[in-house]
């Protein structure tokens, strides 16, 4: 495979999108868990959300200072997602969004679908400056989705909320957590993503942390099947992965393999075959043109990405619970640029196991959160990747020797 990759002519467009900014200096994406309060009790919740806000949650003024801090990274400014818990639990939400917009930030929202997710609340968020909203859909049926969320009726409430978001002119992203329990429903969820006019489907591979610890994760071979299937989907719909950087490796491998049958070329299993057959049915029922895939973005925990928790802790990822520092003690740029863990995570030569010798380590590097969740070492090899490194040279975003 690598010989083939290296023989190929340099393609016109990179299969992997490298961010324009120096990720050692500024992140591409900041997620702020503005509160842990949430009325849902989702099984996979990283935050282990609570019905009431923590008394030490960042205040309105501290939240504004955080947004000022993010803006101080300079242009191009990081994108900001206000998450939770449920951000609609904050009564100062629109004030915070408006402040972010005022200081030049691109603002997005990741709310829960509860009684607070009204059309009026979304309209106020849009008026304040929100451009995009992500909504979770973890099943193609009420039984699966509501089973995840721990409350009946959420599935039925989610669909009109999605319509409201699109009607109000905001971009809708659908987030789906994949586990062994819902992998067979992915084609059904895809049908919903299409019918809801979502601009992006974000597929998240479970990290065993928070309440997600109790869910059954997919074994590595099935992860591989799902990632290859997502490459197929990406030729018809914009998809991204969360906590699955090895999707970038699969994208490069598929690009190098050209029209070769992925089942025989990569030894894919029954999960891929079933998903592929179901995708053909979805495509037959929907008028989805073939499109140039959206290149996956080359960011990872602490490398282009940073997470702020509800009390001001700064983390490489929301699923990697080792803080780099606190906003109550140091500025965000200082922590992002200088915290030892963040610096280690940006240095692929410090990775261990297969990731440490993998030719894809510069553009993948594995999920650092999952490595930590499974082994206790954030630099250990990604435990849910089945790839065996070839021993070849490190490859760049075009699959060429770096």
Distance (Å, whole) CA 108 – CA 2: 39
Chain residues in the site for ligand SF4 (CB under 6 A):
246, 249, 354-355, 358, 360-361, 364-366, 381-382, 385, 387, 389
Nearer to ligand SF4, 229 or 247 (CB): 247
Shortest CB 370 distance to ligand SF4, Å: 9
Cα separation, 327 vs 309, whole angstroms: 10
Cβ proximity to ligand SF4: between 190 and 380 the closer is: 380
Q: What is the smallest separation between the CB atom of 208 and ligand SF4, expressed in angstroms? A: 16
Considering the complex, what minimum distance in angstroms separates the CB of residue 372 from ligand SF4? Answer: 14
Task: Tally Cβ neighbours within 10 Å of residue 258.
Answer: 9
CB of 302 or CB of 365, closer to ligand SF4: 365
CA pair distance 127, 165, nearest whole angstrom: 12
Q: How far is the CB of 228 from ligand SF4 (least distance, A)?
A: 13
Q: How far apart are the first and last CA of the chain?
A: 17
Q: How far is the CB of 398 from ligand SF4 (least distance, A)?
A: 16
Q: Give the Cα separation of 267 and 257 in Å (integer).
A: 13
Contact present, 60 and 96 (Cβ < 8 Å): yes
Q: Which residue, 188 or 392, is less far from ligand SF4 as judged by CB?
A: 392
What lies within 8 Å, CB to CB, of 111 at 6+ separation is 84, 86, 87, 88, 117, 133, 135
Closer by beta carbon to ligand SF4, 106 or else 362: 362
Q: How far is the CB of 386 from ligand SF4 (least distance, A)?
A: 8
Q: How many angstroms separate the Cα of 388 from the Cα of each of 226, 245, 310, 322?
A: 18, 15, 39, 28
CB of 244 to ligand SF4, least distance (A): 9
In the bound state with ligand SF4, the residue whose beta carbon lies nearer, of 26 and 368, is: 368
Nearer to ligand SF4, 227 or 239 (CB): 227
Closest distance of CB 28 from ligand SF4, Å: 19
Task: Give Cβ neighbours of residue 98 (< 8 Å, ≥ 6 apart).
Answer: 128, 129
Nearer Cβ to ligand SF4, position 44 or 361? 361
Q: To the nearest whole angstrom, how small is the minimum distance from the Cβ of residue 356 to ligand SF4?
A: 8
How big is the CA angle at 79 (ends 293 and 336), to the nearest 5 degrees? Answer: 115
Query: Shortest gap between Cβ of 277 and ligand SF4 (angstroms)?
Result: 26
Got the DSSP string for 301-326? ETBEEEEE-TTSEEESBTTB---SEE
Using a 10 angstrom Cβ sphere, with 0-12 exposed, 13-18 middle and 19 or more buried, the burial of residue 378 is buried
User: Are 131 and 107 spatial neighbours (Cβ–Cβ below 8 Å)?
Assistant: yes
Measured from the CB atom, the residue of 69 and 382 that comes closer to ligand SF4 is 382
What b/e sequence results for 124-153 when a residue is b if at least 16 CB atoms lie within 10 Å of its CB, and e otherwise?
Answer: bbbebbbebbbbbbbbbeeebbbbbbebee
Tell me the C-alpha to C-alpha distance, in Å, between residue 168 and each of 123, 191, 196, 372: 7, 22, 13, 40
The H-or-E segment that residue 226 falls in is: helix 220-234
Closest to ligand SF4 by CB, 133 vs 223, is 223
């Amino acid at each position: 495979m690598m010989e083939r990759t290296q023989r190929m002519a340099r393609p016109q467009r990179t299969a992997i999108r490298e961010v324009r900014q120096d990720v050692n200096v500024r992140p591409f994406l900041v997620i702020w868990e503005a509160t842990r309060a949430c009325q849902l009790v989702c099984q996979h919740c990283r935050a282990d959300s609570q019905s009431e806000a923590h008394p030490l949650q960042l205040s309105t003024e501290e939240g504004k200072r955080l947004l000022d801090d993010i803006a101080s990274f300079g242009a191009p400014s990081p994108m900001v997602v206000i998450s939770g818990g449920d951000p609609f639990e904050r009564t100062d939400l629109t004030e915070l969004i408006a402040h972010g917009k005022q200081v030049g930030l691109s603002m997005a929202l990741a709310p829960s679908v509860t009684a607070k997710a009204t059309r009026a609340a979304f309209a106020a968020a849009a008026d304040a400056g929100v451009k995009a909203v992500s909504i979770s859909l973890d099943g193609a049926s009420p039984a699966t989705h509501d089973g995840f969320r721990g409350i009946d009726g959420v599935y039925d409430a989610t669909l009109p909320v999605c319509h409201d978001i699109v009607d109000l002119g905001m971009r809708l992203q659908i987030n789906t957590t994949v586990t062994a329990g819902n992998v067979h429903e992915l084609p059904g969820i895809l049908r919903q993503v299409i019918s809801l006019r979502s601009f992006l489907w974000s597929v998240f591979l479970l990290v065993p942390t928070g309440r997600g610890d109790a869910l059954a994760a997919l074994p590595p071979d099935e992860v591989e099947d799902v990632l290859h299937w997502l490459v197929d989907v990406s030729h018809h719909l914009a998809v991204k992965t969360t906590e699955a950087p090895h999707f970038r490796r699969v994208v490069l491998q598929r690009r190098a393999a050209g029209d070769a049958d992925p089942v025989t070329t990569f030894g894919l299993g029954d999960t891929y075959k079933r998903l592929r057959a179901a995708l053909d049915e979805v495509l037959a029922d929907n008028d989805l043109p073939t499109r140039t895939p959206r290149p996956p973005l080359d960011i990872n925990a602490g490398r282009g990405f940073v997470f702020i928790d509800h009390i001001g802790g700064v983390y490489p990822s929301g699923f990697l619970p080792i803080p780099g520092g606190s906003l109550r003690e140091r500025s965000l740029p200082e922590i992002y640029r200088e915290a030892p863990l963040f610096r280690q995570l940006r240095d692929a030569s410090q990775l261990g196991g297969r990731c440490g010798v993998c030719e894809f380590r510069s553009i993948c590097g594995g999920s650092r959160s999952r490595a930590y969740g499974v082994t206790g070492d954030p630099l250990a090899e990604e435990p849910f990747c089945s790839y065996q490194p070839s021993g070849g040279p490190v490859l760049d975003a075009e699959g060429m020797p770096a």
